[in-house]
């Protein structure tokens, strides 16, 4: 099955019965994210590939990560947005309560990474920042977590192997979005070196604010 719409091409081996919701999400809910990144449209159509088995998705992931983990269900490695199909995700022990809404938020999460990529290469040590934006701008629900338990230099170095990684990223992203102006955040996106010069300060301040609020 192939569906082509503005900005996107969706490709799946099987028919997917939630394709209308998917098209709706891609046509409507991506607009705010494009606006955030000050983009009118993507520089080229983004292909979205839906995998209909965990084995195939795992084989794809193993080309890009040292170790596949079963919470990995969507990514932007290579050129495409790659997603494990909704039916397959629901079968995973780690995602028993996964819904169509979670799936759509997951698409938006990956879309944030696509927009961020329009500004340059993804640096591994800044993954915490890109994930911070992705979890916040996609509207994914979050479990509160204390930044006091976060080893920030480890989060920077080895994001994928830190327990609570996305929850920490959410807290940091929330702090950044509430504290910095949109213009300042765009400066970080366009100039990661600048972000690197203040990232520890950002972490310390976010931690401090969390302490004051609890
Ligand atoms: Zn992500």
Residue 30 near residue 22, CB atoms below 8 Å: no
pLDDT tens digits for range 63-100: 999 999 888 999 999 899 999 999 999 999 889 889 99
pLDDT tens digits for range 193-211: 999 999 999 999 999 999 9
Question: What does the alpha-carbon distance between residue 109 and residue 140 come to, in Å, rounded to a whole number?
Answer: 8
Q: Per-residue pLDDT tens, the chain, 214 aa: give them.
A: 999 999 999 999 999 999 999 999 999 999 999 999 999 999 999 999 999 999 999 999 999 999 998 889 999 998 999 999 999 999 998 898 899 999 999 999 999 999 999 998 777 889 999 999 999 999 998 889 999 999 999 999 999 899 999 999 999 999 999 999 999 999 999 999 999 999 999 999 999 999 998 7
Residue 7 near residue 111, CB atoms below 8 Å: no
* CA 153 – ligand 1 centroid, Å: 19
pLDDT of residue 31: 96
Residue 192 near residue 160, CB atoms below 8 Å: no
Question: What does the alpha-carbon distance between residue 50 and residue 2 come to, in Å, rounded to a whole number?
Answer: 10
* CA 111 – ligand 1 centroid, Å: 9
Q: Could you tell me the residue ranges of all domains in the chain?
A: 1-118, 122-214
pLDDT of residue 71: 86
* CA 184 – ligand 1 centroid, Å: 21
Secondary structure of residue 81 in the 3-state scheme? strand
* CA 131 – ligand 1 centroid, Å: 5
CATH superfamily, region 1-118: Collagenase ColT, N-terminal domain (3.40.30.160)
* CA 113 – ligand 1 centroid, Å: 7
On the CB side of 175, CA atoms within 13 Å amount to 23
């Amino acid at each position: 099955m192939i569906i082509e719409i503005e900005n996107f091409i969706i490709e799946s081996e099987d028919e997917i019965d939630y394709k209308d919701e998917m098209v709706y999400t891609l046509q409507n809910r991506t607009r705010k994210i494009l606006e955030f990144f000050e983009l009118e449209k993507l520089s080229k159509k983004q292909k979205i590939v839906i995998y209909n088995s965990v084995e195939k998705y795992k084989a794809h992931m193993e080309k890009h990560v040292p170790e596949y983990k079963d919470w990995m269900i969507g990514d932007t490695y290579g050129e495409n947005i790659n997603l494990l199909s909704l039916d397959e995700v629901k079968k995973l022990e780690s995602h028993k309560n996964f819904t169509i809404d979670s799936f759509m938020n997951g698409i938006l999460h990956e879309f944030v990474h696509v927009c961020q990529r329009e500004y340059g290469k993804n640096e591994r040590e800044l993954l915490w920042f890109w994930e911070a934006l992705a979890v916040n701008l996609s509207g994914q629900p979050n479990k509160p977590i204390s930044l006091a338990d976060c080893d920030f230099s480890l989060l920077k170095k080895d994001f994928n192997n830190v327990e609570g990684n996305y929850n920490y990223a959410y807290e940091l992203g929330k702090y950044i979005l509430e504290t910095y102006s949109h213009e300042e955040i765009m400066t970080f996106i366009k100039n990661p070196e600048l972000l690197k010069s203040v990232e520890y300060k950002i972490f310390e301040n976010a931690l401090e604010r969390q302490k004051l609020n609890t």
